[in-house]
Amino acid sequence: MSKNLKLIFSSICMAFCLVISVFTERFEWFVRLICPMHIPIFVCGLACGWLHGAAIGFLSPLFCFFIHGLPPVFPNGISMSFELATYGFLCGKLKEIFKKDSFIYLILIISMIFGRLVWCIVMAAALIFSGVKKVGICELFVYVVTVSFFGIIFQLMLVPAAMFGLKKIKKRYI
């Protein structure tokens, strides 16, 4: 994919993140259930590489906050920015390493584990910074995995399908 095409597709992924957050802001239970902003970041990292994936992942929650106020920047927005940047970075880097499309589930699972770990570490640091005396990273990790379990399943179904469709479009038109 050329640099211009990567930039255009990254912009489209950023736009999807913004649109998704606007449409789902009223339904917090839905957002927690399927984690819809994660999907464009996974696709961006897989399609455009680690640099674009990490940049779009980090900036998306911050732009969403500045546009319509959600997620709150501290501590959720900061934690989510680092989490999504980790998703985009790892998806891009692992795609470079594995090269075959058959490893997409492994790439997604590794990215999800490390992204959620980064979320836990940043959230724990933010909570300690805000004055909470005792924060357990293990408890945060169990919380984030159990709350987003259906989102993980949804992403493992949707992202490979999106990448398959993107590959078909790329073969036909690009």
Please answer whether residues 50 and 75 qualify as being in contact, where contact means their C-beta atoms are separated by less than 8 angstroms: no
CA distances from 93 to 70, 87, 96 (A): 29, 10, 5
Q: Output 58 or 33, whichever has higher pLDDT.
A: 58
Amino acid at 55: A
pLDDT tens digit sequence for 109-121: 999 999 999 998 8
What is the C-alpha separation between 126 and 143, in angstroms, rounded? Answer: 16
For the residues 71-82, what does the mean pLDDT come to?
Answer: 85
- Number of folded domains that form the chain: 1
The structure's pTM equals 0.91
Structural domain that includes position 106: 3-28+36-173
- Looking at residue 96, its pLDDT comes to 93
Kindly tell me if the per-residue pLDDT of 83 is higher than 90: yes
CATH of the domain at 158: 1.10.1760.20
Buried-state track 40-70, b at ≥16 Cβ within 10 A, e below 16: bbbbbbbbbbbebbbbbbbbbbeebbeeeeb
pLDDT digits (tens, 9 = 90+) for 131-146: 877 778 788 888 888 8
Residue 100 has a pLDDT of 85
